[in-house]
């Protein structure tokens, strides 16, 4: 069985490397992109099994906008997304409600500072949910 691929879009290189160090020993193949446009290009070139996406990139809400764009993309709408945030899960959820979407376009939230056990648990759950879901259903 090939390693599951995780793409990280975060402009903080220390966070990217920390995630790589937390996840690679568990058998995942982790790729990091420092900007939104680079990350989206990478997604289209090689679709990963999971996306870890920082909310605050070039703008305070660029992460959310990328997530909503992906949900509208025919090929990527089923990609599980975990939002990394330093504003806290509650604020993230509040913002998602403010944006007015019918559903939250992410699987889960990870609050900074990141903890290896939590990161691994959340990532595993998201991947398992995706594996259990019928094809074409997110």
Partner 1 sequence: MSSGGRMWERFYPRGDLRSRVLVDLVRRQWLIHWRWIIVAATLVLLVIDRQLLPHAERPDAVLVCALLLGAANALWLALQSRLTLPDRSVSLDPGLLRKVVLLTNAQMLVDLALLSVLLRYTGGVENPLVVFYLFHVVLAAHLLRPANALLQGLAAWALYSFVVVGEWAGWLTPHYAFLPALSESGMHQDGACVVAAVGALGVAVSGCLLSMTRVSLQVDAHEQALETAHRDLQASYRAIEKLQEQRARFTRTAAHQLKSPVAAVQTLAGLIRDGIADGASARDVAERIIRRCRSATQQVEELLTLARVEQSSPQRHRAARADASRVLASVLERFSEAANLKGIRLSADDRAFSRRRIAVDERDLEDCAGNLLDNAIKYTPGGGTVTIATRELAEGLEIRVADTGIGIAEESHEELFEPFRRGHTALQSGAPGSGLGLAIVREVLEQSGGRWTVTSRVGEGTTVALVFPWARNEGERS
- ∠ CA 132-22-119, rounded to 5°: 50
Look up tokens 């990217």; give the residue.
16
Which range touches partner 1 (CB under 8 A), out of 16-24, 70-78, 93-101, 124-132? 16-24
Residue 97, both tokens: 């409600």
From CA 88, how far away is CA 1, in angstroms rounded?
Answer: 35
Site for partner 1 in 48-87 (CB under 8 A): 56, 58, 86-87
**Residue 133: CB minimum distance to partner 1, A:** 30
Q: Does 26 bind partner 1 (CB under 8 A)?
A: no
13 vs 27, which CB is nearer to partner 1?
13
Q: Does 110 bind partner 1 (CB under 8 A)?
A: no
Q: Does 42 bind partner 1 (CB under 8 A)?
A: no
**Main-chain dihedrals φ then ψ at residue 73, nearest 5 degrees:** -85, 125
What region does 89 belong to: left with phi over 0, alpha with psi -120 to 50, or beta? alpha
Q: What is the x/- site pattern for partner 1, positions 90-109, by CB under 8 A?
A: --------------------
């Amino acid at each position: 069985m090939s390693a599951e691929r995780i793409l990280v879009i975060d402009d903080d290189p220390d966070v990217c490397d920390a995630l790589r160090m937390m996840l690679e020993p568990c058998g995942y193949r982790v790729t990091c992109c420092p900007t939104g446009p680079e990350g989206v290009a990478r997604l289209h070139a090689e679709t990963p099994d999971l996306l870890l996406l920082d909310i605050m990139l070039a703008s305070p809400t660029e992460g959310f906008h990328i997530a909503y764009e992906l949900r509208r993309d025919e090929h990527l709408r089923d990609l599980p997304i975990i939002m990394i945030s330093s504003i806290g899960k509650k604020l993230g959820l509040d913002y998602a409600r403010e944006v007015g979407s019918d559903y939250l376009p992410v699987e889960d939230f990870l609050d900074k500072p990141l903890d290896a056990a939590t990161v691994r648990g959340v990532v595993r759950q998201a991947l398992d949910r995706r594996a259990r879901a019928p094809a074409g259903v997110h």
